């Protein structure tokens, strides 16, 4: 899939966001001419992500959503939003192609009035019969993080799944395995709370490898509700899934993903198709870094050496 980075601005400033440097450096928004050019380029995928910054503050967002809703080349539109501005665009958010991921932060990070507004906007989408097209997401970014408000809203609207990721730190000097070990108690507490409330944890990226867990912890994770065997394997760190997700910017440059924003950037004008672009990143970034260990134990690990485990997100591997 390809994400279109509509703009760099955001209406919130979440403390964990690894896109701060990007959002502060991007001044230009997508022009409609360039946006249509990008849509033609990525159309063979049939799926597109709209990201930012916050995509709902993009000046042409309603037009973009209308174009994509009517374009038969696209079967799925993924909107990644903090949810605070949904009410301002509600009439454009009713396409059955649309999948809305609401990144739900705590009032400690975004303020109680903003959280209450997001709560109201979720209710507004549900009134428009959009419940099955909404996913609640959360970033686990600090030790002893509270999940009370997230779970309260998930229960209020009877959401049975929660998409999550252990945030990639802006400073990676600690090393992936040390960071995972430090964040593990908070993640396990998140799992415990979800299990108590009948909510399935659905991993996004930055998967913690199996070797970080004890046997007792793995046994506990095995009891969690999961939507598929693949997601259970990801939760237990027994699988790694990370194919190139392309981010395309207003200057028509492209990167492997936000995590690898500073590592390799090219112009889509140098490629015949989105498939060619994905293959380029796979050859010159993925296939190189997948062999790079993040710990001495990786070198002798069967799963690492057979690519069943990447060891950590590719962005840790320079």
Tens digit of each residue's pLDDT (9 = 90 or more) over 70-128: 999 999 999 999 999 999 999 999 999 999 999 999 999 999 999 999 999 999 999 99
Percent of the chain with pLDDT over 70: 97
Residue with tokens 């004008």: 269
pLDDT of residue 290: 86
In this prediction, residue 18 carries a pLDDT of: 59
Decide if domain 2-316 falls under CATH 3.90.220.
Answer: no
Query: At a CB cut-off of 8 Å and minimum separation 6, what does 177 contact?
Result: 209, 212, 294, 295, 312
Q: Could you state, in order of their start, the residue ranges of all structural domains in the chain? A: 2-316
Mean of the per-residue pLDDT values for the chain? 91
Give dist(CA 199, CA 61) in Å, integer. Answer: 32
Task: Name the pLDDT band for 288 (thresholds 50, 70, 90).
Answer: confident
Instruction: Give pLDDT tens digits for 176-221.
Output: 999 999 999 999 999 999 999 999 999 998 889 999 999 999 999 9
**Residues 10, 23 contacting (CB under 8 angstroms):** yes
**Residue 142 burial (CB count, 10 A):** 13
Residue 227: count other Cβ atoms within 10 Å of its Cβ. Answer: 12
> Hey, CA dihedral for 210, 215, 220, 222, is it positive or negative?
positive
**Tens of pLDDT, residues 138-150:** 999 999 999 999 9
Compute the radius of gyration of the chain from its Cα atoms: 19
pLDDT number for residue 316: 87
Q: Is the pTM for the entire model greater than 0.85?
A: yes
User: Are the C-beta atoms of 234 and 200 separated by less than 8 Å?
Assistant: no
Region 20-32: mean pLDDT is 67
Q: Per residue in 209-260, pLDDT tens?
A: 999 999 999 999 999 998 788 889 899 998 877 777 899 999 999 999 888 8
**SS3 of residue 266 by DSSP:** strand
Token pair belonging to 154? 């998930």
């Amino acid at each position: 899939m390809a994400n279109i980075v509509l703009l760099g601005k955001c209406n919130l400033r979440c403390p964990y966001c690894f896109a701060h440097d990007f959002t502060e450096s991007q001044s230009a928004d997508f022009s409609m001419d360039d946006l249509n050019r990008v849509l033609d380029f990525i159309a063979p995928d049939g799926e597109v992500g709209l990201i930012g910054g916050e995509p709902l503050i993009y000046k042409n967002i309603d037009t973009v959503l209308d174009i994509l809703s009517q374009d038969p080349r696209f079967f799925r539109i993924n909107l990644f939003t903090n949810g605070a501005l949904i009410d301002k665009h509600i009439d454009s958010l009713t396409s059955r192609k649309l999948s809305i991921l609401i990144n739900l932060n705590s009032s400690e990070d975004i303020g109680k009035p903003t959280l209450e507004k997001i709560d109201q906007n979720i209710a507004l989408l549900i009134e428009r019969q959009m419940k099955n097209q909404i996913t609640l997401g959360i970033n686990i970014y600090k030790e002893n993080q509270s999940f009370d408000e997230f779970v309260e809203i998930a229960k209020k609207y009877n959401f049975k799944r929660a998409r999550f990721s252990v945030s990639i730190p802006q400073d990676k000097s600690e090393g992936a395995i040390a960071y995972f070990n430090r964040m593990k108690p908070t993640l396990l507490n998140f799992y415990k709370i979800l299990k108590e409330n009948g909510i399935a944890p659905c991993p996004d990226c930055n998967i913690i490898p199996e070797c970080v867990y004890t046997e007792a912890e793995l046994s506990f994770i095995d009891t969690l509700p999961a939507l598929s065997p693949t997601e259970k394997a990801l939760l237990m760190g027994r699988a790694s899934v990370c194919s190139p997700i392309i981010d395309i910017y207003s200057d028509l440059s492209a990167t492997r993903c936000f995590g690898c924003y500073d590592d390799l950037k090219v112009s889509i004008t140098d490629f015949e198709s989105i498939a060619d672009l994905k293959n380029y990143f796979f050859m010159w970034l993925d296939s190189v870094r997948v062999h790079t260990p993040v710990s001495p134990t990786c070198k002798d690990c069967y799963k690492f050496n057979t690519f069943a485990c990447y060891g950590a997100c590719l962005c840790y591997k320079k």
